Structure 1
Amino acid sequence: MREMNFSQRLRRFIVRKTFSAPYRVQFYEALRFLLENKQPLKTALEQMRDAWTDFGRKWHPFAELATDCIESLRENSGENSLEYTLSLWVPQEEAAVISAGIRSGSIVDALQFATTLTDAKEQIHQAIWQMAIYPVGLLIMMTGTLYVLNTELIPELSKISSPDSWSGALGFLYGLSVFVDNYGAICAVLFAVITGLISWSLPNWKSPDSVRTFADKIMPWSIYQDIQGATFLLNMAALLKAKMTTLNSLNILQEFCITMVKHTS
């Protein structure tokens, strides 16, 4: 692998972590265009790097990936293979599709399938965010309402009459205000911890199997399972179109996407 100083490694790390779907699609399309015009893979990557950097006269984020791919093609062994390099830059399922294309000799089709897969995943993520807008907005509104109630409304009303004499809705509001005063911070911390644990459990919680199987029937684990199932089917379709057998497709998915294969098995 190429030698880099700390600032260069940091810059590549940032580019790698921010290499989002629109940038990946742009990279796939540019590479596919050159390969369709009968350019060898290494030559196509070098031409892309030279175009983006004006033949080395300026820096471009896409050139980082192109350079890594060129180096991996030059060494082509172990952790310096193209498949491994791609798995560091792009999601594992997209790396699996491109890897299948390299192995089957149909990388042009694989890049097209990777683009389709990226677009489909973006549509799934957009649908999820649209579903999450209402509960998140409701939570924000409730938090704001409790803040105003506790800092503005209750203190003003307590100047008019003693809170001990309040009943009905007003008494409930006062009790809620007291609860927020005494336990609001604790509840906020517990909510953050529970949210973090749930987020961690979605891709990582595997055992005991019976408990995870039960959890997969309720939200949010059921939503995660549906997303993984849809992603799995999209990947299988892409790999089969890349002229891979069913067994080889499953082996490639297991190689690149062990968590996804387990959750959809």
Structure 2
Amino acid sequence: MGMTFKVAWVLLGGRRRLLKILEKTAFLLENGVPIKEAVDSQYRIARKGGDYLSSEILRRVLISLQEGKTMSEGIKDLLSSDEFTLLRNAEKTGNLVSAIENILRIEKEKREAKKVLREGIVGPVSVLVVSILLLYYIGAKVLPPIISFIGEDSISGVARFIVVLSGIVRLSLFPVAIVLFFAVMVVIFATLPILVGKVRLFLDRVPPWSIYREYTGLIFLISLSVMVASGIPVVQALKQVLPESSPYLRERVK
């Protein structure tokens, strides 16, 4: 990829544009439009509308088709290995529309799984952060005048815990605790796809590792099942899926 194209791909949502092109291409093919004509018509519209990213993607496909190659070869570097395998096999069997539909289906399932992952992890973390900030406010602003009025010795139970928290705040340890908390969160999320071994087997029993385990397993099974259903042997499908998988998934599958 050229540098300009790489920047545009990241900033303008290249993945989304590519899937949209595949979807439109499948629609045109299904309605009897030859693939060269389907791609060329989209290219002309994109270029006329000033859509650099889409026109560049379509231009690559056009060049590939004009050279006697396939659509998948023109956008190989924009596809994952399993997506490329799906398209390549479909082009050989003349079932390109079905392959594109499968790619779109996998993408949809991935988005839904990611949504569940975010809700399962971000939701509880957000509640925890808000609770900590609320306790900070109570300990720093609300409790001090109350304590000075009724005396600290007369407070017990939960109120006593909040008083202790207030003391931590007055000692300026709370900001350190907040920084430490977020640092731990960053480490956890960064290691979700790469932490392996016996430690990971133990952590997989509790969130957020257990949620990530279910998410990763779901995406893997969806991709594998679609490839096998498309006529790709299981061994070949695994060879296509695993190289791009996380170290965690590769360890679990092997």
Paired residues, number: 248
Could you report, residue by residue, the CA deviation over 1:160-191 in whole angstroms, capped at 9, with x for unpaired residues?
2444x343043322111112343212211221
| TM superposition shift of 1:60 | 5.0
| TM superposition shift of 1:99 | 4.9
Please tell me whether residue 198 in structure 1 is matched to residue 193 in structure 2: no
**Residue 140 of structure 2, aligned match among 132, 151, 158:** 151
| TM superposition shift of 1:127 | 2.7
Please tell me whether residue 223 in structure 1 is matched to residue 211 in structure 2: yes
Q: Which 10-residue stretch deviates more, 129-138 or 223-232? A: 129-138
In the other structure, the counterpart of 1:188 is: 178
| TM superposition shift of 1:227 | 1.5
In the other structure, the counterpart of 1:86 is: 78
**Residue 31 of structure 1, aligned match among 15, 25, 28:** 25
TM-score of the aligned structures, taking structure 2 as reference length: 0.78
Determine if contact 1:29/1:112 at 8 Å carries over to the other structure: yes
Q: Trace 1:36-75 onto structure 2 (pairs within 5 A).
A: 36=30, 37-40=32-35, 43-54=37-48, 58-70=50-62
Distance 1:234 1:167 in 2: 57
| TM superposition shift of 1:234 | 0.9
- Cα gap change, 1:213/1:25 in structure 2, threshold over 3 Å: closer, same or farther? same
| TM superposition shift of 1:66 | 2.7
Identity of aligned residues (%): 19
The runs of 5 or more residues in structure 1 that have no matched partner are none
Distance 1:257 1:103 in 2: 26
| TM superposition shift of 1:68 | 4.5
Could you report, residue by residue, the CA deviation over 1:30-60 in whole angstroms, capped at 9, with x for unpaired residues?
02123332523x5533322212232xx5235
Could you report, residue by residue, the CA deviation over 1:190-211 in whole angstroms, capped at 9, with x for unpaired residues?
21121111111111223xx333
SS of corresponding position for 2:206: coil
Distance 2:142 2:114 in 1: 40
Higher relative contact order (CA 8 A, sep 6+): 1
Determine if contact 2:117/2:215 at 8 Å carries over to the other structure: no
Could you report, residue by residue, the CA deviation over 1:144-165 in whole angstroms, capped at 9, with x for unpaired residues?
32132123212321442444x3
Distance 1:108 1:229 in 2: 27
| TM superposition shift of 1:142 | 0.9
In the other structure, the counterpart of 1:10 is: 7
Distance 1:97 1:11 in 2: 26
Counterpart of 1:234, as a letter, is: I
Determine if contact 1:216/1:222 at 8 Å carries over to the other structure: yes
In the other structure, the counterpart of 1:160 is: 149
Distance 1:250 1:9 in 2: 29
Could you report, residue by residue, the CA deviation over 1:231-260 in whole angstroms, capped at 9, with x for unpaired residues?
111111211222212222122213443644
> RMSD across aligned C-alpha pairs, in angstroms?
3.3
The runs of 5 or more residues in structure 2 that have no matched partner are none
